[in-house]
């Protein structure tokens, strides 16, 4: 993945080439590099994500191993910044306990984290949509208040989250063409162009970069934690507003925006981030799959507002 294309837009390139990691390999890595944990059981985490292979280590820790070289670029960033961010955030986030290195046939740096309990947030599992939206807005507001000095700017380490939406223009346009007949392409084009035209005032904020259902934890249907800060950074925080359409109800979206005092231009860019992500997901989802059904629901929120 090169840093820039011929027109100055970063070239995202093909999907990363992932490596496969199994339980036995993780056990060997832990035993070799952290022998004081060698006797702890290692078990795979159900739905452990795409960017990292995730395993339980004992009952209180997890092991996360990047699945490709591109994702490994986030390891040092997380170890440097997560302890600082955690001190300022109103809900639990992962705390790195140790950093491992290549070995046992695995080529990248990897991490041991404190395990966070909770179930993955799903639209139908949220107990009180308005309370959830307010709690999530409180997390985002606290993140925005953290000092950005020295923070990581958009780049390869986070797939250019926090940078301009133009980075994803080709993908969005391909998605609209691929889904023609399954969505209102004219309306999608209109929303996308509006997002591209909505200017950022240049005020940098911390952002998570991927506030998706897989990275939000629930306890009793309420927000209990935020995980996977691999795409975090400092820049335009509108990327974190995508969740307003991908997971919140209309009422939740309203209070989320009010709590954060989001102006029209920032809201339009956030909607663009939601549209791009959903277009790509839907275009690549098998017909009838959960991903396709959820994408149709989200597109209804985006295009119908």
pLDDT tens-place string over residues 213-241: 999 999 999 999 999 999 999 999 999 99
> Which residue in 143, 157, 136 sits closest to 230, CA to CA?
157
pLDDT digits (tens, 9 = 90+) for 63-111: 999 999 999 999 999 999 999 999 999 999 999 999 999 999 999 999 9
pLDDT class for 197, splitting at 50, 70, 90? Answer: very high
Distances (CA, A) of 244 to 66, 128, 129, 258, 289: 28, 15, 11, 12, 23
Share the mean pLDDT of the chain.
Answer: 94
Please tell me the predicted confidence (pLDDT) of residue 11.
Answer: 60
Contact present, 249 and 224 (Cβ < 8 Å): no
Please tell me the predicted confidence (pLDDT) of residue 50.
Answer: 87
Indicate the length of the chain as a whole number: 305
CA 47 to chain centre: 15
pLDDT digits (tens, 9 = 90+) for 35-61: 999 999 999 998 878 899 999 999 999
Please tell me the predicted confidence (pLDDT) of residue 13.
Answer: 67
Please tell me the predicted confidence (pLDDT) of residue 218.
Answer: 98
pLDDT digits (tens, 9 = 90+) for 164-194: 999 999 999 999 999 999 999 999 999 999 9
| Residues whose CB is less than 8 angstroms from the CB of residue 281 and which lie 6 or more positions away in sequence, other chains included | 291, 294, 295
Please tell me the predicted confidence (pLDDT) of residue 16.
Answer: 84
Delineate the domains of the chain, giving CATH numbers in brackets: 23-114 (3.30.200.20), 120-304 (3.90.1200.10)
Rg (C-alpha) for the chain, rounded Å, is 19
Name the one residue in this structure whose structure tokens are 């507003």: 241
């Amino acid at each position: 993945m090169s840093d820039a294309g011929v027109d100055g837009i970063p070239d995202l390139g093909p999907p990363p080439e992932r490596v496969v990691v199994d339980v036995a390999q993780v056990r060997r890595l832990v035993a070799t590099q952290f022998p004081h944990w060698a006797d702890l059981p290692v078990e795979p985490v159900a739905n452990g994500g795409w960017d990292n292979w995730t395993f339980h280590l004992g009952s209180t820790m997890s092991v996360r191993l990047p699945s490709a070289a591109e994702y490994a670029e986030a390891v040092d960033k997380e170890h440097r910044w997560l302890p600082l961010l955690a001190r300022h955030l109103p809900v639990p986030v992962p705390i790195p306990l140790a950093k491992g290195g290549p070995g046992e046939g695995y080529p990248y740096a990897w991490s041991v984290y404190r395990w966070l309990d909770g179930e993955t947030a799903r639209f139908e599992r949220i107990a009180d949509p308005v309370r959830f939206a307010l709690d999530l807005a409180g997390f985002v507001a606290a993140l925005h208040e953290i000092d950005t000095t020295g923070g990581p700017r958009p780049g390869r380490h986070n797939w250019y989250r926090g940078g301009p939406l133009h980075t994803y223009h080709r993908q969005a346009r391909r998605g609209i063409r691929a889904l023609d007949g399954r969505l209102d392409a004219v309306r999608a084009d209109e929303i996308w162009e509006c997002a591209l035209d909505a200017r950022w005032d240049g005020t940098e904020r911390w952002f998570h970069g991927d506030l998706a259902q897989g990275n939000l934890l629930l306890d009793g249907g309420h927000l209990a934690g935020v995980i996977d800060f691999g795409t975090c950074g400092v820049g335009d925080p509108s990327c974190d507003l995508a969740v307003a359409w991908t997971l919140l109800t209309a009422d939740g979206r309203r209070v989320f925006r009010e709590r954060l005092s989001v102006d029209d231009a920032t809201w339009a860019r956030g909607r663009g981030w939601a549209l791009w992500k959903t277009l790509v997901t839907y275009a690549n989802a098998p017909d009838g799959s959960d991903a396709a059904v959820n994408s149709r629901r989200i597109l209804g929120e985006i295009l119908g507002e």
